[in-house]
Amino acid sequence: MIIPMHQLLKEAKKGGYGVAAPNVFNRETIEACFLAAKELRAPIILDVAGVHGIYECAEIARFYERRYPEVPVAVNLDHGGPFEDIANAIRAGFSSVMIDRSQSSFEDNVKETAEIVKFAHACGISVEAELGHVGQAFEYDKTRDSGLTRPEEAADFLAQTNVDCLAVAVGTSHGVYQGECKIDFPLLDTLAAQIEQPLVLHGGSGSGDDNLRKTIEHGIQKVNLNTDLVMAGLDAMEASYANNLEIKVPKGVDTDEFTTKRMNMQQLFAVGADAYKAKLMHYMKLFKSEGRW
Ligand code: 13P
């Protein structure tokens, strides 16, 4: 069932585990998420970026909600930018929205986030915001330190905005790291000790399994994942396309004989979705969200 994100994250905080939040963008990735969550009995958050089709992804998620009603799932707008995208996500039936004003001044971040919270809460929808700025991994060496969340701003931000969960910058970055990911665990401890709301980690990919496991132990409840999942899918598709362009198929209905035929587009997409799902399940286990329902 699609439920507000804060309900999933409150449970995760109580249980001391993390919920995987994969980026999804089409039928294959959304189905892969539902199947992974069902197989592991893990909750899941579908993160949809505005550019990937707000209405389309909402419809597909509802389709799989009907097929697998037992799966606890939230549908969240990732990095909500323009006000129209956030309003459209709410109209489309998302159960949560992120407003990302992490590159604005503290005052503007507070003001615009508080406006969205008022509107979203009136519709029964959770809100995620970002304090500090999680940058792009290709410029990690230049931006890692400048964006770290400042603990002295957190209490004020939360009191003025009333957000349901907070994305914090503690040393991760989006995409493929330039150099090695270094997480500031003392900073995460300070933030977790003073913030009651669940905490979100962006830029999960490439951060290292040990690091990610530790971030859950130190107070993170939602981990955003994109690059590792889509790279796993792409690598599998590439290998399959290069080595196995011909696939074995039965020669007819009444025979055990096989012949070969050229792999088609649907089969290639299925190979990618399987690899995306396998990587996602690896992370769900790592975050200890397996068997939670
Ligand atoms: P990665 O691509 O680094 O996993 O980041 C995903 C993300 O944070 C989406 O919001």
Q: How much distance in Å is there from the Cα of 203 to the middle of ligand 1? A: 4
Residues belonging to the chain: 293
Calculate how far, in angstroms, residue 33's C-alpha sits from the geometric centre of ligand 1. Answer: 16
The answer to whether 202 is a known ligand-binding residue is: yes
> Does the beta carbon of 22 sit less than 6 angstroms from any atom of ligand 1?
no
| Whether the Cβ atoms of residue 57 and residue 48 lie closer than 8 Å to each other | yes
Does the pLDDT value for residue 268 go beyond 80? yes
For the chain, how many structural domains are there in total? 1
Active site residue 108: no
pLDDT of residue 241 exceeding 90, the answer is: no
What is the pTM for the complete model shown?
Answer: 0.95
Q: Look up the CATH number of the domain holding residue 103.
A: 3.20.20.70
Instruction: Determine the residue of 223, 226, 231, 283 to mutate for testing ligand 1's pocket, defined as the one with the most ligand atoms within 8 A of the Cβ atom.
Output: 226
- What tokens appear for 250 in the block? 């039965």
From ligand 1's centre to the CA of 258, what distance in Å? 43
Q: How far is the CA of 51 from the centre of ligand 1 (A)?
A: 15
> 19 near 287, Cβ under 8 Å?
yes
Report yes or no on 268 lying in a domain.
no
User: Residue 267 domain-assigned?
Assistant: no
Quick check: is 51 in a domain? yes
Domain span at residue 79 reads 5-227+276-287
Instruction: Give residue-wise pLDDT tens across range 42-75.
Output: 999 999 999 999 999 999 999 999 999 999 999 9
Q: What is the pLDDT of residue 68?
A: 98
Q: Which ligand 1 atom is at minimum distance from the Cα of 201? A: 8
Residue 253 located in a structural domain: no
Strand 19-22, strand 44-49: pairing: unpaired
User: Of ligand 1's atoms, which has the minimum distance to the CA of residue 78?
Assistant: 10
* Per-residue pLDDT reduced to its tens digit, 137-167: 999 988 899 999 999 999 999 999 999 999 9
Is 100 inside any structural domain?
yes
Predicted local distance difference test score (pLDDT) of residue 250 = 86
User: Does the beta carbon of 101 lie inside 6 Å of ligand 1?
Assistant: no
Q: Is residue 235 part of a domain?
A: no
Asked, for residue 239, whether it belongs to a domain, the answer is no
Q: Is residue 135 one of the residues assigned to a domain? A: yes
SS3 212: helix
DSSP 8-57: HHHHHHHHT--EEEEB--SHHHHHHHHHHHHHHT--EEEEEEGGGTHHHH
Q: Which of 78, 85, 164, 274 is catalytic?
A: 78
